[in-house]
Amino acid sequence: MTGIGKIFIVVGVVFIIIGLIWGIFGKLPGDISIKKGNFSFHFPIMTSIVVSIILSVLFYLIGKFR
């Protein structure tokens, strides 16, 4: 398999993992949701923090074993 094929597989797996995490942590307490009339705004601050911590640990472990 060529290098570009491996990259596509890794990117695909990363997107699948992000999708699963996003489905699980989609609406945590601490996320900001504002709804007024026709306008709605959702800012997932707590979800962003949790995903950031998970990715930081994951990249740390990958770097340590590489």
pTM above 0.85, yes or no: no
Compute how many other C-beta atoms are within 10 angstroms of the C-beta atom of residue 49. 13
Look at residue 48 in the predicted model and tell me its pLDDT. Answer: 82
- pLDDT, tens digit, 9 for 90 and up, residues 9-34: 888 888 888 788 777 766 778 888 89
* CA separation for the pair 29, 52 (Å, rounded): 16
Residues 6+ apart with CB under 8 A from 41: 32, 33, 34, 35
pLDDT at 25: 66
State what percent of residues in the chain have pLDDT above 90: 12
Instruction: Give the per-residue pLDDT at 39.
Output: 94
User: Computed over its alpha carbons, how large is the radius of gyration of the chain?
Assistant: 16
